[in-house]
Structure 1
Amino acid sequence: MQRPLLFVVNPRAGSGRAERIWKAVEGRLRASQTAYEAVFTTPEADGYDTALRVLRTGRYRAVVAVGGDGTANEVVNALLRTAPSLPFGVIPAGSGNDLAHGIGFSSWEAALEAVLQGTVRRADVGRLGERYFLNAAGVGIDGVVADAANRLKGSGRWPTSLSKFVYVLLLLAKWVRFRPRSARIVVDDRVYLFHRVWLVVASNHPFFAGGMRICPGASPEDGLVDVCVVHRVGRLPFLLIFPLVYTGLHTRTPYVTVLRGRNVRVRFRLASFPVQADGEILGEEPLRLTVEPRRLWIFVPRGREELRISEEVPEPMAMLP
């Protein structure tokens, strides 16, 4: 008998957009006679707690997050602690959806099609202490903005109509008073000292913060993270070059240095900034992260897969190398 797919749905993601998308997804699952079960996050139990509880039963053949990048992060952390051989999928239904964009999905329909077709490949994940991340981790004004965004969500004053632009609006608000500092960055035992650092972002995918191409060359398949350092730039020039991040052209300016490695440590001088991973605050610096190569099986668009999962195999991923 075919094991069901597990969908972990955050109905509040994307200001309620996820709930509408889930109804459409469920209709297609029923039409295709796909075995599935769904669980829903609540204000009291996030994606991690919800997924952790049900994954311990060992009943599923794959797990799929329906929501934004934060929901995906929570579900993956539960998955890697309970059933790391199961493939992971994401149905983009949040405000940013940078992970899905980086994987190559242009819509929730395309992401669902990959799950139904069973097209998977190995992907790297990042780890900060005991916490995994899929997309990006950052510190500096990036962490300050992520912290402000989370506080805004928690207050119930999240601007629904401007969800996609909240990062930019908060960045402008924090830009006025943020004081860039010197930072010591160690990448695979290579030590760098940068001055007037605004942010340091280590990325596993090209996109973050709602479509910014922060690290255009980043790949989840090379065993490394790309580290974007914005430094030696004044307050007004920082604002002027900021729009270039949407095209990736900021990396061609003299104010941006891109490093690459498997182990990264960041410490600012005379300051302590929040550290974010996939938009979630994990405390304050120093930032210490490592890449775990090929740690996760992930659903990808057809044509990019390493293999296809056969529905006839009861425990397909347990048999994979």
Structure 2
Amino acid sequence: MKKILVINPKAKNGKALQYFHSIESICKKEGIETWITESPGDASEKIRAWCEQNPEEKVLFIGMGGDGTMHEIINGVVAAEGENVMVACIPAGSGNDFARAFPSFQLTARSIKDLSLLNGKSESFDAAHYQSENNTGWFVNNLGIGFDALVAFSSNRSLLKKWLNLVGAGKLIYVFYLLRHLFTYRPTMLEIEVDGIMEQYSNVWFISVSNQPYYGGGMKISPKAIPQDGLLDLTIVHNLSRWKLLAVFLSVFKGSHLKYKEVAIKRGRVLQVKSDEFVRVHADGEDAGELAHQQIIHITVHQHKWKLFLPKMKGLDE
């Protein structure tokens, strides 16, 4: 089996690249090919091209980075539609929600030493496709519309995030921009259609469409989401004050926000959202454009769309 390690050199302010240098000699010795990404979208394009050129070869793409890195890898793998393609993750980012939901490698001395030992099994998981007037793609964690997407958009472009990552406090950037936008954001009206049933929600702060439970660095936005059941879990936060929104956000860390009457929960396979005003959209924490007045985003889950590799680690599983 071909093994390709995909490193995001900017993940966690360059710490992923440091991790890579600690195992670079092992990779060369064991014939593990390494790719260091150069720009946004680079991983997706390289993976898609490789799979198209080698359709019969069995390959494992191991991401070394955070949720953005894994988002790109999944988009490349799913677009290629290869039957012989598997994915694994060595978490080296700020949030690492992919690694929480889809654990494969853990970034420890033992896993680094045993990186070449790739005996194990694979499991198939769902992915969801989204399409709007200005963007399209796949996600495996969650897609957000509204306030949380604005927080993610601002956080990802902030110089402050780099400084916080240097001291191991990268997650605080989301708290900073949550508070910064809390008093200026205007909730909007959304029409949300789930499996053909449409409902209108007023004063919506945000909705999260989840394939797995976590987002924002460990917050349990959809505690009951299962990434293999062919369903997406919607969390709709609406009709509440700014101060109560803050309380809801704090409760998300434990998954206890479902107790609030202003938090609506839906589940479905095919979704459609139309916005009354301009709102931002994120997919797996990455910018996915925006919805302008009366624009629509279509979201569909595809069951068992990609394969996660679960390695058997030497000395641990034997």
| TM-score normalised to structure 2 length | 0.84
Q: Do the aligned partners of 2:123 and 2:307 also contact (CA within 8 Å) in 1?
A: yes
Give yes or no for the alignment of 1:238 onto 2:238. Answer: no
1:197 aligned to which of 204, 214, 219? 204
Give yes or no for the alignment of 1:64 onto 2:74. Answer: no
Q: Which residue of 1 is the match for residue 148 of structure 2?
A: 142
Give yes or no for the alignment of 1:95 onto 2:94. Answer: yes
Q: Structure 1: any 5+ residue segments left out of the alignment?
A: 303-321
Query: How many pairs align?
Result: 296
CA distances 1:205-259 after superposition (whole Å, capped 9, x unpaired)? 1101111100001111000110011112111111123211000000121121111
Q: Distance in 2 between matches of 1:170 and 1:61?
A: 39
- Coordinate RMSD, CA, aligned: 2.5
Q: How many angstroms does 1:194 deviate by? A: 1.6
Greater share of residues in strand: 2
Give yes or no for the alignment of 1:122 onto 2:121. Answer: no
Q: Distance in 2 between matches of 1:210 and 1:294?
A: 25
Give yes or no for the alignment of 1:180 onto 2:187. Answer: yes
1:77 aligned to which of 62, 75, 78? 75
Q: Do the aligned partners of 1:105 and 1:111 also contact (CA within 8 Å) in 2?
A: no
Matched residue type, 1:238: L
Q: Which residue of 2 is the match for residue 5 of structure 1?
A: 3
Q: Distance in 2 between matches of 1:50 and 1:93?
A: 20
Q: Which residue of 2 is the match for residue 317 of structure 1?
A: none
Matched residue type, 2:127: V
Q: Distance in 2 between matches of 1:128 and 1:111?
A: 35
Residues 274 and 158 (structure 1), Cα distance of their counterparts in 2 relative to 1, 3 Å cut = farther
Residues 106 and 165 (structure 1), Cα distance of their counterparts in 2 relative to 1, 3 Å cut = farther
| TM-score normalised to structure 1 length | 0.84
**Aligned ranges for residues 139-178 of structure 1 at < 5 Å?**
139-152=145-158, 159-160=164-165, 161=167, 162-178=169-185
CA distances 1:34-61 after superposition (whole Å, capped 9, x unpaired)? 4310111013763223433444442552
Q: Do the aligned partners of 2:190 and 2:201 also contact (CA within 8 Å) in 1?
A: yes
**Aligned ranges for residues 229-268 of structure 1 at < 5 Å?**
229-268=236-275
**Aligned ranges for residues 217-236 of structure 1 at < 5 Å?**
217-236=224-243
Q: Distance in 2 between matches of 1:48 and 1:197?
A: 33
Q: Do the aligned partners of 1:275 and 1:287 also contact (CA within 8 Å) in 2?
A: no
Q: Distance in 2 between matches of 1:295 and 1:140?
A: 27
- Percent identity over the alignment is 30
Q: Structure 2: any 5+ residue segments left out of the alignment?
A: 313-318
Q: Distance in 1 between matches of 2:245 and 2:203?
A: 11
